[in-house]
């Protein structure tokens, strides 16, 4: 009996999407929280008379949808106006590199001898030679297809690299470039100047977790012990904001991302408890209410 079942094939790498290559709001907000808003400059002067009227937000800063950008080649325009989930067609060098790596690791994982090829180096040379040949054949058949290229991405970043790239609310696959000053003020207003939504607390993640635990009713911890088991609260959840075009980019939607965070379990637990309580209290009754808030009002 073999010690393991070998993998059957060599799989192609997953190529990055436009989002992954162009969106830069993450490093930007990191820098913003570290250095403060005063370190962020408005770049709009450069775009006056260049970008159309629709590229400006109600506050007079740039908030430009990719398809409105001017002065780009066809390839870069395609990147800017495509669905940003689309993947980027790799260049010859990346394809050859990835193919060679994939074949070599297949050889290694399945303990196949590379001796007939003159060792690992010989095998590697042989595979990249073959990949090069395949590429020429491949690229001649796809030459006329519409696709997003690395060159287009590079040109877009070179020409409009001083903007903060993200999407807009309700249009999560649309590429939008924001003046850094505008994006910074939206981020700060969303998280720091909205006391009815977020309260600023000077507290460590562990301290915050203890506070959350303290406000929970007694029975909760024993009803859902799995939500508390073996978790250390040593990091914060990540957050981001998505500007709203409906309001002329003067406000943004806040998103708190609990992926991989210990509080995620607690959220699930509370959701489950609320559902159970809802069934117990409301039963099969209908409230003839348009929203949850209305229904709660009637229930009261």
Residue numbers at the binding site for Zn ion (CB under 5 A) = 42, 44, 61, 179, 181
Q: Which is nearer to Zn ion, 51 or 82 (CB)?
A: 51
**Local structure of 241: helix, strand or coil:** strand
CB of 57 to Zn ion, least distance (A): 9
- Grouping H, G, I as helix, E, B as strand and the rest as coil, residue 200 is coil
Cβ distance to Zn ion smaller for residue 149 or 250:
250
Residue 135 to residues 14, 97, 118, 121, Cα–Cα distance (Å): 17, 12, 24, 21
C-alpha span between 81 and 72 (Å, rounded): 11
**To the nearest whole angstrom, how small is the minimum distance from the Cβ of residue 17 to Zn ion?**
27
- In angstroms, give the least distance from the CB of 53 to Zn ion: 15
Residue 66 or 262 with smaller CB distance to Zn ion: 66
Q: What residue is closest to Zn ion based on CB?
A: 179
What ranges in the chain are assigned the alpha helix state H?
A: 18-22, 25-35, 74-81, 92-109, 119-142, 150-160, 180-191, 205-215, 218-223, 263-282, 292-299
Give least dist CB 161 to Zn ion, A. Answer: 15
End-to-end Cα separation, the chain, in angstroms: 68
- Extract the tokens encoding 165: 């790239």
Taking the least distance from each CB to Zn ion, the nearer of 61 and 75 is 61
How near is the Cβ of 45 to Zn ion at its closest, in Å? 8
Q: How far apart are CA 36 and CA 82, in angstroms?
A: 33
Interatomic CA distance for residues 228 and 285, integer angstroms: 33
Choose between 18 and 179: whose C-beta lies nearer to Zn ion.
Answer: 179
Least distance CB 168 / Zn ion (angstroms): 17
Of 84 and 185, which has the nearer Cβ to Zn ion?
185
């Amino acid at each position: 009996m073999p010690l393991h079942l070998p993998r059957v094939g060599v799989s192609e790498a997953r190529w990055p999407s436009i989002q992954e290559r162009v969106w830069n709001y993450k490093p930007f907000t990191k820098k913003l929280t570290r250095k403060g808003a005063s370190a962020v400059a408005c770049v709009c002067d450069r775009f006056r008379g260049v970008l159309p009227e629709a590229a400006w937000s109600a506050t007079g800063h740039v908030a430009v949808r990719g398809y409105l950008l001017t002065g780009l080649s066809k390839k870069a325009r395609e990147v800017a106006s495509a669905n940003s989930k689309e993947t980027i067609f790799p260049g010859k060098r990346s394809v050859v590199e990835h193919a060679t790596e994939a074949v070599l690791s297949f050889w290694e994982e399945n303990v196949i001898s590379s001796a007939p090829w003159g060792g690992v180096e010989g095998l590697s040379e042989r595979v990249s030679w073959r990949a090069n040949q395949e590429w020429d054949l491949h690229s001649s058949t796809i030459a006329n297809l519409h696709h997003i290229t690395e060159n287009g991405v590079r040109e877009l970043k070179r020409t409009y690299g001083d903007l903060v790239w993200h999407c807009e609310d309700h249009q999560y696959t649309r590429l939008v470039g924001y003046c850094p000053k505008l994006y910074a003020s939206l981020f700060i207003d969303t998280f720091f100047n909205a006391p009815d939504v977020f309260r600023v607390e000077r507290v460590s993640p562990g301290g915050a977790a203890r506070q959350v635990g303290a406000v929970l009713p007694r029975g909760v911890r024993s009803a859902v012990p799995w939500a508390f088991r073996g978790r250390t609260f040593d990091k914060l959840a990540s957050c981001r904001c998505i500007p709203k075009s409906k309001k002329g980019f003067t406000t943004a939607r806040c998103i708190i991302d609990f992926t991989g965070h210990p509080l995620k379990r607690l959220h699930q637990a509370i959701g489950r408890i609320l559902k159970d309580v809802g069934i117990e209290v409301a039963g099969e009754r209908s409230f003839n209410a348009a929203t949850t808030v209305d229904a709660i009002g009637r229930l009261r």
